[in-house]
Structure 1
């Protein structure tokens, strides 16, 4: 059996915890960093720290660190908040690695398909132009470039909209009868949160085996679908028949993202379509 790998997940929230638990089950030593680290699930080792501050956390692991995953999310949803969470946060983590003399084998940065500005239903892959129209995509792209230019091996994973049927944001919108635009169709891209964690684990484990990784992957399922199709399916599943006057608010853009590169490496989503991910909705539990 090879050496036990270690990983620090900076910004260890929901997806970070799912990733950490999976890697722990596979024998990895996992550190999770966040402000309230005491609530992290066992056996993730807590590192209490604030990515927005320049001071290295006192419980930052000593010695060799094989991998670092940057999985933060913005707590303040404006441009300043995004810059603090991604650009400043990445800079701080890179400084802390340097201070500790640590050179991980690879950094993994969780980004977003929001870096693409296409809006006419085009098919998108990792080589497509990144010309975001809003500050969220522009800031994320700046953070990506910071990671990819840091001098360490690095990979960015551009995630689609992450969902979990137990977190009913989308279902609540559907139950409220909110309308969606049908013509032209607004394509949306998504990935179940368990599949997001599994993709990250797959990439880390592939690198640990010595398989070459690209510097970018798209984290989406197999089924980029028009939003109205998703809503119609959920309405039928949930038994919703009324329509409200209000429309569903969503980010601008309409594109179809391909996961072919990740699949070519051997990964496959457990939930290839929203139909699979939401399959248990509406079922009776006696």
Structure 2
């Protein structure tokens, strides 16, 4: 019997757990690293560790490790917090591989479409210019470069806004009367958390099977939509009638991200539009 492929998911949060469970079902050995690793679901093998430390976690596996997926998220939302989570954390994880003499087949870095600063509603793909003006996109680009320079094949996966209706942040915003600009339309991009995990699993499985991967993919659904359309649709779904006094100014620009490259691999989003992703919500729920 062939050896089971192995993957370390460093920063194994919500998307990492969904990825880990999917890969486990496909026969992979999955390690999940986080500070509170004991809460990880079986069969993900928990590794308690701190990405802020250069010391190899005590539970870090010995022997061959086929893949590293770096999927950390910042717990402190300022420039030092972003730098610690994405640049220094990745540097530490790569250092742990080096200290253990492990040479993964490929490193995957979960990045963000926040590296794009376009704001005219234009279409964006992996080749579009990345000229972020804020520290969030700038730090993410620095971390991406660190991944590309790590000495192993590396792929960046730039995810759009992650959502799941069981986490009702957007619904709560709409219930509070969220008012957004309508003219010009502010295009927003999103991906359901299940689809984000499935895309990462598709990339890993493609590489394992010898398929050619690019060094960058966009993780978005099929429907980059004006934010006011999303809000209007949710208002009707939730039965909201009141409006807030202030209009929210969108910080993330206005662009339409294409998932054509990811779809060319055979990945198909289960939730191609926000309408599919939020279909389960009802007034008073979600």
Tell me whether the two structures share a fold, i.e. TM-score over 0.5.
yes
- Please give the alpha-carbon distance, in whole angstroms, between the structure 2 residues aligned to 1:50 and 1:248: 36
- Please give the alpha-carbon distance, in whole angstroms, between the structure 1 residues aligned to 2:29 and 2:283: 38
Deviations 1:87-131 (A, max 9, x none): 101110111101100000011100000000101001000000000
Shift in CA distance, 132/284, structure 1 to aligned 2, threshold 3 Å:
closer
Q: Secondary structure at the match of 2:137?
A: helix
- Please give the alpha-carbon distance, in whole angstroms, between the structure 1 residues aligned to 2:126 and 2:30: 29
CA contact (8 A) 2:187 2:256 kept: yes
Deviations 1:132-184 (A, max 9, x none): 01100000000000001111011000000000000000000001112101111
CA contact (8 A) 1:173 1:248 kept: no
Q: Secondary structure at the match of 1:228?
A: helix
Q: Calculate the TM-score normalised by the size of structure 1.
A: 0.97
Matched positions, count: 285
> Where do 5+ consecutive residues of structure 1 fail to align?
none
CA contact (8 A) 1:79 1:136 kept: yes
Q: Equivalent residue for 1:172?
A: 172
Q: Secondary structure at the match of 1:144?
A: helix
1:282 matched to 2:282? The reply is: yes
1:136 matched to 2:136? The reply is: yes
- Please give the alpha-carbon distance, in whole angstroms, between the structure 2 residues aligned to 1:186 and 1:284: 27
The within-5 A match list for 1:238-257 is 238-248=238-248, 250-257=250-257
Shift of 1:282: 1.3
CA contact (8 A) 1:69 1:108 kept: yes
Shift of 1:255: 0.3
> Where do 5+ consecutive residues of structure 2 fail to align?
none
RMSD: 1.2
The within-5 A match list for 1:30-179 is 30-179=30-179
Shift of 1:283: 7.0
Q: Equivalent residue for 2:211?
A: 211
Q: Secondary structure at the match of 2:156?
A: strand
Q: Calculate the TM-score normalised by the size of structure 2.
A: 0.97
- Please give the alpha-carbon distance, in whole angstroms, between the structure 2 residues aligned to 1:205 and 1:271: 21
Shift of 1:247: 3.0
Shift of 1:250: 4.0
Deviations 1:8-44 (A, max 9, x none): 0000000000000110111100000000111111111
Q: Secondary structure at the match of 1:158?
A: strand
- Please give the alpha-carbon distance, in whole angstroms, between the structure 2 residues aligned to 1:284 and 1:246: 24
CA contact (8 A) 1:178 1:244 kept: yes
- Please give the alpha-carbon distance, in whole angstroms, between the structure 2 residues aligned to 1:251 and 1:15: 24
Q: Equivalent residue for 2:3?
A: 3
